[in-house]
Amino acid sequence: MNYEVVIGLEVHVQLKTKTKSFCGCSTEFGSEPNSQVCPVCLGFPGSLPVLNRSFLDYAVKVALALNCKVQEYTKFDRKNYFYPDLPKDYQISQYDLPLSREGFLDIEIDGRHKRIGITRVHMEEDAGKLIHQQGVSLVDYNRTGMPLLEIVSEPEISSPLEAYEYLNNLKSIIKYLDVSDCDMEKGSLRCDANVSIRKIGEKALGTKAELKNMNSFKAVKDALSYEIERQAQVLDSGGKVVQETLLWDEKQMKTFSMRSKEGAKDYRYFPEPDLPPFIISADRIGEIKKNIPELPQEKKMRFMKEYGLSEVYAQILTCDKEDAGYAEECFKAFADKDKKPVANWLIGALSAIASSHNRGISEEKLSPENLIDLIVLVEKKQIISNLVGKSVLEEMVNTGKSAEAIIGEKNLAQISDSSFLENLADEVIKENARSVQDYKSGKANAIMFLVGQLMKKSKGKANPKLAQEILKRRLENV
Amino acid sequence: MSISKETVDYVANLARIQLNEQELERLSRQLQGILDFIDKLREIDISDIAPTSHILEIKNILRDDTPGESLPAEKALANAPSKNGRFFTVPKVIE
Ligand SMILES: [Zn+2]
């Protein structure tokens, strides 16, 4: 049977402020256990939280970048539950008056554009970390009280691929704002997914399952695909989907029921009496707005318009802010109006080298000017072939030398000296009587073999185009 | 508003308090008294009054994002009922 898929994503992003949400403890990653704790974040009696100004500013910045309406009046609430990673037995979060609502994010799949609604972006504090051992759990409260944003999408995502693109674009935007590392492995970005299916045309939503424990965007995609298939099988066989929380097991590529001992969630939210309300003025919003850089979507459109790139190419080159900046410097350094050769080198050869080093193209030791010099030598002056160009590029990246220097040192320049090539052509013709015969009797392909022989004689340095021309000319006289 | 014994039991469970039958009985009665008293407040017309989320007339109390002192681990852990090195420890919470 055919089903329609309904997915909503809940993303938590840890902001890279210097200190925690409500106390002066450092947020540095990887410190000794319980070395970044104080009476406030440990929930000692008598301590009082005070909101970090940067937390609020970063949160407003993200909300605006996600096209949300920032609420003029916002407050914090207590979300009550017992768990050892939560020393106060409540999490300071936001409930009925969140920082912002009603935003959206655009995604693009195979040329099709879609707008996904964002229900809300609110502020809350992170919990601590548990390490489970035999019979005991160790608790580290360094992460407790770190500033988090919760970004909730509308249930408007219709496939695992759309979810994947939503996450990629969200990460890209937040990284442009420079307010979070968005590193899923380090836990600075976490994603839970709600998924349900319904018969096509049906209005009511199906029963949803909540998916947790995905450690990469790919894992989110895989877990959703698995879960959709599982729910379809349940419905096809006449069963009912049960509302539950499922954990993704990446090794087994399966979801498992969490079988929680706790009953239904009842967080008993109430206003946090230790924090006053916050009024965010239109002026303040205006100031923060001014500091929002050109975002990936706008930059993509501009790259398409100014540099004549396809949407796919523009998307790849604007995904990362630093890489986009680097690409733009390269485009500017290239005199021709048509920037496609530059885009090809950036996305092809240079990206391959950079990703083999686990880096972005902007992180390689290669100035835009040097790269453009190489591109001109290959594409325009045809001093070296594309293939030789790629190995020169690798050497440039490794040594920091210029293309000319490497071509000179290794004597790589293509030979375009006609008299030298004519001599080689004559030798080849003399030594390959059969192919010459073939060519003469109309087998056009034979010329390629002869060109290959000439290239070999020149140790790969003959200008292949010229070599072919000269061979053809000499063959006429045979 | 009346409160049932089941509700009291449910709330006790949320608060991780175990109550025996007599305690349930007694607390249900006492809570009922409190709720009856609160019901009196409903008689006041509040249609013109905005909900209060904070009792003081203060707003926008913020601090700068500058690191301060944290506690040394010995001090942070000093009152922990159970610990292991630099960690607090609790009975294992997942299977
Ligand atoms: Zn602290």
**A404 C-alpha to ligand 1 centroid (Å):** 57
pLDDT for position A442: 82
Is there a contact between A173 and A296 (Cβ–Cβ < 8 Å)?
yes
Contact list in B for residue A37 (CB cut-off 8 A) is 70-71, 76
- Give A56's pLDDT tier (boundaries 50, 70, 90): very high
Q: Is B92 near chain A, with CB under 8 Å?
A: yes
What is B5-42's CATH number?
A: 1.10.20
A54 Cβ contact partners less than 8 Å away, ≥ 6 residues apart: A15, A17, A18, B65
Q: How far is the CA of A18 from the centre of ligand 1 (A)?
A: 12
Helix (H) or strand (E) holding A278: strand A278-279
Rg for chain A, CA atoms, rounded: 30
Cα nearest neighbour of B53 on chain A: A271
Q: Is B1 on the interface with A (CB under 8 A)?
A: no
Neighbour tally for B80: CB within 10 Å: 14
A22 C-alpha to ligand 1 centroid (Å): 7
Could you give the number of structural domains in chain A?
3
Domain ranges of chain B: 5-42
Question: Is B7 near chain A, with CB under 8 Å?
Answer: no
Of A163, A172, A183, A159, give the one whose Cα is nearest residue A66.
A172
pLDDT of residue A263: 54
User: Residue A53: which of A21, A25, A75, A77 has the closest Cα?
Assistant: A21
Prediction pTM value: 0.83
pLDDT in tens, A126-172: 999 999 988 899 999 999 999 999 999 999 999 999 999 999 999 99
| Last residue in a domain, options A392, A409, A426 | A409
pLDDT tens, residue by residue, B37-47: 988 888 888 88
Statement: residue A266 has pLDDT above 80 = yes
pLDDT at B95: 52
User: Cβ contact (<8 Å) for B60 and A32?
Assistant: no
Do A201 and A282 have their domain in common? yes
Q: Are A254 and A307 within one domain?
A: no
A336 with A307: CB under 8 angstroms? no
Residue that wins the pLDDT comparison between A261 and A434: A434
Answer whether residue A258 shows pLDDT above 80: no
For residue A76, is pLDDT > 90?
A: yes
What are the tens digits of pLDDT across the range A184-239?
888 899 999 999 999 888 888 888 899 998 999 999 999 999 999 999 998 888 88
Cα separation of A426 and A471, whole Å?
8
**Residue B84 with chain A: CB contacts under 8 Å:** 136, 138
Whether pLDDT at A121 is above 90: yes
Q: A467 and A367, same structural domain?
A: no
Whether residue A373 is found in the same domain as residue A424: no
Residues B8, B27: contact at Cβ < 8 Å? Answer: yes
- What's the rounded Cα separation, in Å, for the pair B70 and A47? 13
Q: What distances in angstroms separate CA A399 from CA A365, A392, A405, one per listed residue?
A: 8, 10, 11
Tell whether the model's pLDDT for residue A260 goes beyond 70.
no
Of A182-191, A249-258, A452-461, which gets the smallest average pLDDT?
A452-461
What is the reported pLDDT for A413? Answer: 67
Do A307 and A169 reside in the same domain of the chain?
A: no
Ligand 1 being an ion, which residues bring their Cβ within 5 A of it? A 23, 25, 38, 40-41
The CATH number of the domain holding residue A424 is: 1.10.10.410
What is the C-alpha to C-alpha distance for residues B87 and B82, in angstroms, rounded to an integer?
A: 9
Residues B86, A32: C-beta atoms closer than 8 Å: yes
Token pair of A220 as six digits:
């989110």
Contact across the interface for A24 and B69, Cβ inside 8 Å? yes
Question: Does the CB of B42 have a partner CB in chain A at under 8 Å?
Answer: no
| Domain encompassing residue A422 | 418-475
| Average pLDDT value over all residues in chain A | 89
Residue A408: per-residue pLDDT: 73
Give the per-residue pLDDT at A473. Answer: 85
Q: Are residues A214 and A125 in the same domain?
A: yes
Ligand 1 geometric centre to CA of B70 (Å): 6
Query: CB of A103 within 8 A of CB of A117?
Result: yes
Res. A324: pLDDT tops 90: yes
Residue A299 backbone dihedrals phi, psi, to 5 degrees = -65, -40
| Nearest CB neighbour to A276, from listed B54, B65, B69 | B54
Give me the percent of chain A exceeding a pLDDT of 90.
Answer: 50
From the CA of A36, how many Å to the nearest CA of chain B?
A: 6
Task: Give the model confidence (pLDDT) of A237-248 as tens digits.
Answer: 888 888 888 899
Q: Which of helix, strand or coil describes residue A401? A: coil
A34, A38, A75 member nearest B86 (Cβ) = A34
For A395-450, the pLDDT digits (tens) are 887 888 887 777 777 766 666 677 777 888 888 888 888 888 888 888 878 888 88
* Contact (CB<8Å) A137/B58: no
Complex prediction ipTM: 0.88
Are A284 and A232 members of one domain? yes
Residue B87 contacts A where some CB pair is shorter than 8 Å:
yes
Query: What's the CA-to-centroid distance between A86 and ligand 1, angstroms?
Result: 13
A135/A168 same-domain check: yes
DSSP-H helix ranges across A282-367:
282-290, 296-307, 311-318, 321-333, 340-345, 351-356
Burial level of A438, CB count in 10 A (0-12/13-18/19+)? middle
CA distances from A90 to A78, A80, A85, A196, A268 (A): 6, 4, 10, 30, 10
Q: Greater confidence, A376 or A87? A: A87
- Asked whether the predicted pLDDT for residue A386 surpasses 80, the reply is no
| The domain boundary residue, chosen from A288, A318, A333 | A288
Verify that A101 and A207 share a domain, yes or no. Answer: yes
